[in-house]
Amino acid sequence: MSAARRAGAPAQNLQSAGATAAATGVAGFLASGLGVALFSSAVFGLSGSFAKALLETGWTPGAAVTARLTGAALILAVPAALALRGRWHQLRDNWLTVLLFGLIGVAACQLFYFNAVARLSVGVALLLEYLAPVMIVLWLWLASRKRPRPLTIAGTLLSLAGLVLVLDLTGAVKIDFIGVLWGIAAAVCLAIYFFITAKENDTLPPIVLASGGLMVGALVMWLTAATGLLPMATSTADTRLGPWVTPWWVALGGLVLLATVLAYVSGIVAARALGSKVASFVSLTEVLFAVLWAWLLLGELPGPVQLLGGILIVGGVVLVRLDELRRAPEPSVELDHANDIEPVP
pLDDT tens digits for 3-33? 444 445 454 554 454 545 445 554 554 456 7
For the ranges 29-33, 258-262, 267-271, which has the lowest average pLDDT? 29-33
Find the helix packing angle between 263-274 and 33-44, rounded to 10°: 150
pLDDT at residue 121, as a whole number: 85
What region, left, alpha or beta, does residue 242 occupy, with left being phi > 0 and alpha being psi -120 to 50 degrees?
left
pLDDT at residue 258, as a whole number: 94
Of residues 12 and 116, the one with the higher pLDDT is 116
pLDDT at residue 50, as a whole number: 95
User: pLDDT (tens digit, 9 = 90+) per residue, 161-193?
Assistant: 888 787 766 565 567 889 999 999 999 988 887
What radius of gyration, in Å, describes the C-alpha atoms of the chain?
A: 22
Whether residue 2 is predicted with pLDDT greater than 80 in this model: the reply is: no
Distance CA(248)–CA(265), nearest Å, equals 25
pLDDT at residue 134, as a whole number: 79
Provide the pLDDT confidence category of residue 112 given band limits of 50, 70 and 90: very high
pTM comes to 0.78
- Give the closest residue to 313 by CA, choosing from 337, 290, 336, 332: 290
pLDDT at residue 153, as a whole number: 83
Average predicted confidence (pLDDT) for the chain: 79
User: pLDDT (tens digit, 9 = 90+) per residue, 210-254?
Assistant: 888 899 999 999 999 888 888 899 999 999 998 899 999 999 999
Whether residue 262 is predicted with pLDDT greater than 80 in this model: the reply is: yes
From residue 278, give the alpha-carbon distance in Å to each of 29, 88, 94, 166, 345. Answer: 16, 30, 25, 27, 19
From residue 256, give the alpha-carbon distance in Å to each of 64, 114, 199, 286. Answer: 10, 14, 29, 17
Provide the pLDDT confidence category of residue 61 given band limits of 50, 70 and 90: very high
pLDDT at residue 332, as a whole number: 43
**Dihedral sign from CA coordinates of 188, 105, 219, 247:** positive
Is the distance from CB of 50 to CB of 252 less than 8 angstroms?
Answer: yes
